[in-house]
Structure 1
Amino acid sequence: MTVLDNGVAADGTDQEPADPRDPVVRLTALLDEGSLRQITSEDKSGVLAAMGRVEGVPVVAFCSDARFQGGAMGSEGCEHIVHAYDVAVRERVPIIGIWHSGGARLAEGVESLHAVGRVFAAMTKASGVVPQISVVVGPAAGGAAYGPALTDLVILAESGRIFVTGPDVVRSVTGESVDAAALGGPEPHSKRSGVVHVVAGSETDAYVKARQLATLLGHQGRVRTGEIEEVDFSTLLPDSARRAYDVKPLVNGLLDEPGIELHPKWAPNIVTSLGRLGGRTVGVIANNPLRLGGCLDATSAEKAARFVRMCDAFGVPLVVLVDVPGYLPGVGQEHDGVVRRGAKLLHAFAEASVPRVTLVTRKAYGGAYIAMNSRALGATKVFAWPTTEVAVMGPVAAVRILKRRELAAAPEEERAELEQRLAAEHEKLAGGLDRARELGVIDEVIKPEETRGAIAKLLAQATPARGAHGNIPL
């Protein structure tokens, strides 16, 4: 029976509007029209699983049924999720989970805890095998909080909440008064915790984002070099090398159309985006000089490392845009684990098997130069724009250390001129673009207006590869 928008059936009889919590309603909103095929039964288990398509790409999907015990996870519902994972792995297709659950079913006791653990095991075994996307549209509390956290990409609708212990428990144990939104809503998870990759304005928008991500990872395509249109990126950089700028227009201009930025508000000094270049899915990592001068720090290194490992696990080539003055100094950074967390990025790039291209746009200094997919870590190719500087540090800063006695002995009126001359000499001997090319750490200098074509051609020629590892939530 067809139901019209006004709640009246096509035969003229009244029809109750569908419950928005009904998993069939939610899965139908996610999947292509007419493609939903249930692979588990509709019951009171709290979960429904199905196969279907998004933009023509085959996927498996499951959805919490919040109509029964708030979507709490019992043994039967958990079996539905495990079955969905078995099907996704067998068919080698992305799996999308729609979460609205208060956690394990209390009435089942330890049995439900064991069942939830089996779900976590299935997710972990599928990690790096098939893309996993979570859409949180209501609460994902207790054990249900860790389900999305184990997946590759987490989308949080405005109505979504993720927390291990809710406001009432927090208040009773710690005395802190907090509401559900402040505890586990979009603001804390998009800016502070790093749990959520994408915040959506509504449940409908969350499904749109999930469809886009599933298509990017599930149907990656091939580079079509004949369709590449060049863009003159030189106008995006400020005239002064000391001025900050937003790298996002450069990232979006590199892609065929603006991609999906992951974690845009968490560690914003580095940008991580998925999109297409020449029709092929790529992952873009870029230092953003508008935030912390583009410095790497503990959090941004960790953010980038997980993105690298996710792309490597699914065979997504990487494009790395470098404009980095170094690691952010400070006591806070050292205490925050910049050594341990920074090492994750080094490990991720050195371990990666996918083709990965680096473009140095302005400067690459110090240890951060190494970490940003340098030649030493196995970059497929390193491009640079003509005004690039590659060095341990800027030439002026270097001579102020190396030539401090000579500078101190010079007459004050001659000191500035001497400093500039010494800096130029130092750049020729120890750094600069020419020296970097001599050493082989820069492969080719290209003009900004040649960028898209050069990178696309390289990716088209590169041998496809894929890392054989999972995607642990770093």
Structure 2
Amino acid sequence: MSNSAQTSASSRIAALLDENSFVEVGAYITARSTDFNMTEQETPADGVVTGYGTIGGCLVYVYSQDASVLGGSMGEMHAKKICNIYSMAMKMGAPVIGLVDCAGLRLQEATDALDGFGKLYLSQTMASGVIPQITAIFGTCGGGMAVSAGITDFTFMEEKSGKLFVNSPNAIDGNYKEKCDTSSADFQSRESGLVDFTGDEDSIIAQIRALVSILPANNEDDMSYEECQDDLNRICDNIEGCTGDTALALTLISDNSFFMEVKKDYEPSMVTGFIRLNGTTIGCVANRTEIYENGEKKETFEPALSGKGCDKAADFINFCDAFNIPVLTLVNVKGYKAKMCSERRIAKAAARLTYAYANASVPKVTVIVKEAFGSAYLTMGSKSIGADVVYAWPDAVIGMMNPSEAVKIMYAKEIAASGDAAALINEKTAEYTALQSSAVAAAKRGYVDDIIKAGETRQRVIAAFEMLFTKREDRPSKKHGTV
């Protein structure tokens, strides 16, 4: 152990890893002398403790920055230590977890420290899509270190002491910290979407352990499976009432009601997270129009896609595809949000989500739980863009637009001349729905594979993923897409 063994940096590692499993690497490394005389300063471990250990018996690599040594700032040797464990993790195919408390770039080392940041970015980029990368922010994560957090797959942030920023709140034109603390966990989780999970230090440690337990160790690993203790044919009672808050529906579908929501606070009208089905980790994407807490409705949303929601879902699907995690989608969407703030980015964001679904080669199962209209329906993992299996609940409505709105356009003259416009609209809407927009109509055209009872969703989805377990798909040869 280094001289920093009793610091919070080391205590966090001890809390995170299985008891007595941590092995430190590079304990004797100290800061290299530069043009500025630092020889009189003691720099144990150069401000970062690095090594490996286990979580639930599975190998992980970890680095933990020590703010008591040069503020945990990034210097040449500091970066070299982190890059070294990245190299080891890539060889072994194991996740890397960074526990961040960093004052930023070490000014005394200037371009040497900058080069260290660059080499860290390169190591993280090479690891992206190969091994899971997790960042937990317990103190300051500013400047270049914020970029590092952005490259990783999941970011956790301590809700009181954590600070994440490229430019500090006081450096932003027209802003100051008391007006809007852009570095806070609340802002970074709700507004920027960079932070996936927030909480106190103990809950963050527990959440990281839970996340690691359900993720594959690398992009070729299939060992994230656990023995299922739940009834595979269990009926999901009252799931029909969860079409609004689909997070509750996913909880009902999952083994033992397990659901880990990702980016819960960011654009909550789009749900992303992980469940287990028959012991296998499944990535989930779902539209949400309501949030319930303790049986009370807390918030409502329109059933429409937003730019933020599309980006959130696209990033999540890309992660799942990279690590061979199957994707389940629950659909309840009428269109796109018609607001100026959304219009600035919605076309590109919707294109990214469409591309993410179409490009993903993992097993994809979609369940239409209520409404599915227009191109927004196509974007949400439809048969047309590559879903392997599509189910619909009996009362699902699927089509170009809301049937009553379509009727008002198609029969505008008849409605205007009618003595009872409401009765005519209802009559024509029923006819149009039966012919064009019902689940049966979609199934007749092959856009839906089967119409299933809502309560049977768990058993039917499990059966579909079991069938798709050995899925193989030939794709055109290319370096990568450009969307």
- The TM-score normalised by the length of structure 1 is 0.88
Q: What is the CA deviation profile of residues 54-113 of structure 1, one whole-angstrom value per residue up to 9, with x for unaligned ones?
A: 111211111112111110010001011111111111111111111000111000011101
Question: In structure 1, what is the Cα distance between the partners aligned to 2:319 and 2:470?
Answer: 15
Q: What is the CA deviation profile of residues 299-352 of structure 1, one whole-angstrom value per residue up to 9, with x for unaligned ones?
A: 101110001001111111111011111111233322x21101111100000000
Q: Counterpart of 2:261? A: 261
Q: Counterpart of 1:127? A: 128
Q: What is the CA deviation profile of residues 165-217 of structure 1, one whole-angstrom value per residue up to 9, with x for unaligned ones?
A: 224544xxx363215992211110111110101112x1121111111111111
Q: Counterpart of 1:6? A: none
2:385 aligned residue (377, 397, 401): 377
Q: Counterpart of 1:149? A: 150
Shift of 1:421: 1.3
Q: Counterpart of 1:231? A: 235
Q: Counterpart of 2:164? A: 162
CA 1:154–1:326 in structure 2 vs 1: closer, same or farther (change >3 Å)? same
Shift of 1:432: 1.6
- Residue 210 of structure 1 aligns to which amino acid in structure 2? I
2:401 aligned residue (372, 389, 393): 393
Helix, strand or coil at the partner of 2:181: helix
Helix, strand or coil at the partner of 1:373: coil
Question: In structure 2, what is the Cα distance between the partners aligned to 1:112 and 1:253?
Answer: 50
CA contact (8 A) 1:363 1:390 kept: yes
Helix, strand or coil at the partner of 1:34: coil
Helix, strand or coil at the partner of 1:83: helix
Q: Counterpart of 1:117? A: 118
Note if 1:41 corresponds to 2:44. Answer: no
Question: In structure 2, what is the Cα distance between the partners aligned to 1:57 and 1:96?
Answer: 13
Helix, strand or coil at the partner of 1:382: strand
Q: Counterpart of 1:196? A: 195
CA contact (8 A) 2:440 2:451 kept: no
Helix, strand or coil at the partner of 1:293: coil
Question: In structure 2, what is the Cα distance between the partners aligned to 1:236 and 1:283?
Answer: 21
1:463 aligned residue (451, 461, 469): 469
The 5-angstrom pairing of residues 13-412 of structure 1 reads: 19-21=6-8, 23-42=9-28, 43-158=44-159, 159-167=161-169, 169-170=171-172, 174=173, 176-178=175-177, 182-200=181-199, 202-218=200-216, 219-221=223-225, 227-234=231-238, 236-237=240-241, 245-256=244-255, 257-290=257-290, 291-334=300-343, 336-411=344-419
Helix, strand or coil at the partner of 1:360: strand
- Residue 277 of structure 1 aligns to which amino acid in structure 2? L
Question: In structure 2, what is the Cα distance between the partners aligned to 1:69 and 1:388?
Answer: 60
Shift of 1:153: 0.3
- Residue 225 of structure 2 aligns to which amino acid in structure 1? G
Q: Counterpart of 1:9? A: none
CA contact (8 A) 1:192 1:266 kept: yes
Query: Structure 1 stretches of 5 or more lacking a match?
Result: 1-16, 239-243
Shift of 1:245: 3.1
- Residue 304 of structure 1 aligns to which amino acid in structure 2? A
Question: In structure 2, what is the Cα distance between the partners aligned to 1:451 and 1:88?
Answer: 39
Question: In structure 1, what is the Cα distance between the partners aligned to 2:5 and 2:88?
Answer: 28
CA 1:374–1:175 in structure 2 vs 1: closer, same or farther (change >3 Å)? closer
Question: In structure 2, what is the Cα distance between the partners aligned to 1:34 and 1:454?
Answer: 43
Shift of 1:384: 1.0
Question: In structure 2, what is the Cα distance between the partners aligned to 1:303 and 1:439?
Answer: 31
Query: Structure 2 stretches of 5 or more lacking a match?
Result: 29-43, 217-222, 291-299
CA contact (8 A) 2:65 2:101 kept: yes
Question: In structure 1, what is the Cα distance between the partners aligned to 2:152 and 2:472?
Answer: 18
CA contact (8 A) 2:27 2:45 kept: no
Helix, strand or coil at the partner of 2:361: coil
Shift of 1:405: 1.2
Question: In structure 1, what is the Cα distance between the partners aligned to 2:341 and 2:134?
Answer: 34
CA 1:406–1:458 in structure 2 vs 1: closer, same or farther (change >3 Å)? same
Question: In structure 2, what is the Cα distance between the partners aligned to 1:205 and 1:57?
Answer: 20
- The TM-score normalised by the length of structure 2 is 0.87
- Residue 408 of structure 1 aligns to which amino acid in structure 2? A
Shift of 1:45: 1.4
- Residue 58 of structure 1 aligns to which amino acid in structure 2? L
- Residue 297 of structure 1 aligns to which amino acid in structure 2? S
Count of aligned positions:
445
Moved more, 129-138 or 226-235: 226-235
CA 1:233–1:342 in structure 2 vs 1: closer, same or farther (change >3 Å)? farther
CA 1:407–1:180 in structure 2 vs 1: closer, same or farther (change >3 Å)? closer
Q: What is the CA deviation profile of residues 230-257 of structure 1, one whole-angstrom value per residue up to 9, with x for unaligned ones?
A: 233445428xxxxx83222112111123
CA contact (8 A) 1:223 1:277 kept: no
Q: Counterpart of 1:433? A: 439
Shift of 1:465: 6.3
CA 1:44–1:175 in structure 2 vs 1: closer, same or farther (change >3 Å)? farther
- Residue 332 of structure 2 aligns to which amino acid in structure 1? D
The 5-angstrom pairing of residues 406-425 of structure 1 reads: 406-411=414-419, 414-425=420-431
Q: Counterpart of 1:4? A: none
Q: Which has the higher contact order (CA 8 A, sep 6+)?
A: 1
Cα RMSD for the two superposed structures:
2.6
Moved more, 414-423 or 288-297: 288-297
Question: In structure 1, what is the Cα distance between the partners aligned to 2:435 and 2:472?
Answer: 39
Q: Counterpart of 2:294? A: none
